[in-house]
Structure 1
């Protein structure tokens, strides 16, 4: 097999593959075997028809077409492996030449255009120290979490006064564009000051009492008229204030297993400290990836994959990508570029660290995702395999293991230069970082794979 590679772009190549007759012959034989099982020729049993008889009966062209259909992808994979290429997308295959008969000595020739992972040189880890901020737990952190718990036990009580920030108003809304009603909602409960609905709604409701109404102008956030200015009429049906329980030992006993408020606060502080440790591990991961990328001259991004990724990011930012403004489009592009850079970096790191992924690694990874999403592990794994996402799972496991191995190879220090102990999250080897800690390193891997599987099932 003769292979030539032409660089079309920094991350795109065209392979021209020429296959000798003897190398293509096994594919022809396999094609005849499969076709022979499907046709009936007098005097011969199915699957036992001589090659020349079968070629005459069904036509050599049909045999060659079947052989090419199965052989070209296989030969393509051999070619990229021989030339040490790392495809990031499906190839565009084009058969240029093929023999027209069994006696024709024309060699099979095809081209393959594909976007590939660029080759980057990662820095040495010898003596490297990566600085990570030391997270602090403040009294305000504890108080905020205590207040959140307190709100879970709060009740809403009707009040006979104008609405103010923090109150809950039951409201009716109607939006009109050019005098035509385009949307209406009744009986919506809204917390003043939350900013979770239309711009200007908080200001419009502030000071209104039950039975009063007003109008304001706002840009619509969704629907057929997304992005258009609308006149919105809002009516207040009722106003309720949140009544919170008193912070004392009785509250601690109602809200937890502790007898006193001080014991509850101490437990909340421990929870905050655990969360701070998790944030530090995440910060260490981000700092390590930044160290790698800062010490790489350039990471060119494959154009085709980037554009598709931008579209996917845009769909996640707005219900109607075609109406997205420039800021949203830029946000989508920045997110897509960072995601691709990180993937290329982590894939290269996994190769550098000589990561090996076992079947058990992949099954455990998928089972942990299923558990996070409350799904049956066997059913989830089956859907992953059927939807063709298993390769993505293998790749993500390799990235996660490579990242953990790379982070164990450097020293993490705080701003004062003190060594940080992240062994709880990184472990000492591949087997010592538990599923939860590995998920810190893998970041959003679980969501990406699960969402891909869900989308495949929907399609």
Structure 2
């Protein structure tokens, strides 16, 4: 086999391939064995028709497509390796010659991974980060815990206030016509949460148990459902119950109930420590993101649309998976938000392009700095994942090898090392000053 690569545009080229007649003959043989097993010819059992009789009846051309289906994937991969290119999309293949006793000659128009022209990526300036925890942050965390451990008390008298849980029936209509998703029974709504259309919760505040009321609202212009954008609506609301949070006192008893500490002061010190650890980790991640974004902004790269589309598909799968873990499938989400798959994917394109750009720049920096994952580091990562998934490292390696994911494990390690390199070689604002 011979393969030559001819670049025709920045990220596109033509792969010219010639495959020997011997390989073509072998592919035709395999195609015959596949087809003859299903061929019906009077006087012969399936799979027992002689080759010459088959060709006389159906013609050798009847084997060509199956032979190409067998041969092309194999030789295309070999040609890509020989030409040392990295395709990022399916090739557009044009067969120039193929037949019995002939060589296979084809050309494949291929979109390849783009070249990256790196800008400055060492000494990048990032904002100074503060890991200190304020008293206000500690108090905010205590209030959050206080809310979580509050007792809900059903009010027999009085009216709903902000912060209460109103258990309501509601049915919405526009111009007297009910709309999809506008009806529910015994729905628990926290007043002031902002989870309903603006103005809805404000009008439920002040209602009493057993009271019915028409709530008048206007859907926002940016509402997800095209049919409801900017429309005035009326919701018939019935209040079944009002539940008020009975907050526990923030004292030593509270600390004993919700933690391992005997005093509120000890608990506050522990909260401060945990908040500092959380803030430190968040700041580290923010610094990593900042240096990668700056390095990517300084680079020049023309990203093929195919790479962005592939990333969008991956993001959509990840999004669907996250929804599944929350008990909602993607179809439920689309119905609830009034969107379709194409709209959601279009909204993902900007982030997808950013992710692709960042990954390409990180790869280019790794190559420029000769940063790679060592076998020891890959083994350490395998051990970490094995512990996480409660499997042996050898078993996990076998699984990853079988599905072709072992290389991606090394890629992940290399990526982390490269980001760490960028962080180590960055400067805070005060260092620059």
TM-score norm. by structure 2 comes to 0.74
SS in 2 for 1:216: strand
Paired position in structure 2 for 1:203: 202
Question: Is the Cα–Cα contact under 8 Å of residues 313 and 335 in structure 1 kept in the other structure?
Answer: no
Question: Is the Cα–Cα contact under 8 Å of residues 225 and 338 in structure 2 kept in the other structure?
Answer: no
Question: Is the Cα–Cα contact under 8 Å of residues 165 and 188 in structure 2 kept in the other structure?
Answer: yes
Paired residue for 2:408, among 383, 395, 400? 395
Question: Is the Cα–Cα contact under 8 Å of residues 357 and 398 in structure 1 kept in the other structure?
Answer: no
- Structure-to-structure mapping, 1:184-223, within 5 angstroms: 184-212=183-211, 213-219=213-219
- Structure-to-structure mapping, 1:333-344, within 5 angstroms: 333-344=349-360
Matched, 1:414 2:417: no
SS in 1 for 2:203: helix
- Structure-to-structure mapping, 1:235-314, within 5 angstroms: 235-297=238-300, 299-307=301-309
| CA deviation string 1:260-289 (max 9, x = no partner) | 111111111111111111112211211221
Matched, 1:168 2:165: yes
Cα deviation, residue 328, structure 1: 7.9
Paired position in structure 2 for 1:355: 372
SS in 2 for 1:214: strand
Question: Is the Cα–Cα contact under 8 Å of residues 371 and 418 in structure 2 kept in the other structure?
Answer: no
Paired position in structure 2 for 1:81: 81
Question: Is the Cα–Cα contact under 8 Å of residues 249 and 261 in structure 1 kept in the other structure?
Answer: yes
1:67–1:218 Cα change, 3 Å: same
Paired position in structure 2 for 1:152: 148
1:162–1:13 Cα change, 3 Å: farther
SS in 1 for 2:255: helix
Measure the CA separation in 1 of the matches of 2:29 and 2:313.
44
Question: Is the Cα–Cα contact under 8 Å of residues 91 and 114 in structure 1 kept in the other structure?
Answer: yes
Deviates more, 1:274-283 or 1:396-405: 396-405
SS in 2 for 1:416: helix
Aligned length: 399
SS in 2 for 1:259: coil
Paired position in structure 1 for 2:123: 128
SS in 2 for 1:417: helix
Structure 2: 5+ residue stretches without partners: 40-46, 320-329
SS in 2 for 1:190: strand
Question: Is the Cα–Cα contact under 8 Å of residues 164 and 244 in structure 2 kept in the other structure?
Answer: yes
Question: Is the Cα–Cα contact under 8 Å of residues 16 and 107 in structure 2 kept in the other structure?
Answer: yes
1:184–1:33 Cα change, 3 Å: closer
SS in 2 for 1:210: coil
| CA deviation string 1:217-256 (max 9, x = no partner) | 2439678956473332222222222111111111111111
Structure 1: 5+ residue stretches without partners: 40-46, 419-459
SS in 2 for 1:283: helix
| Greater RCO structure (CA 8 Å; 6+ sep) | 2
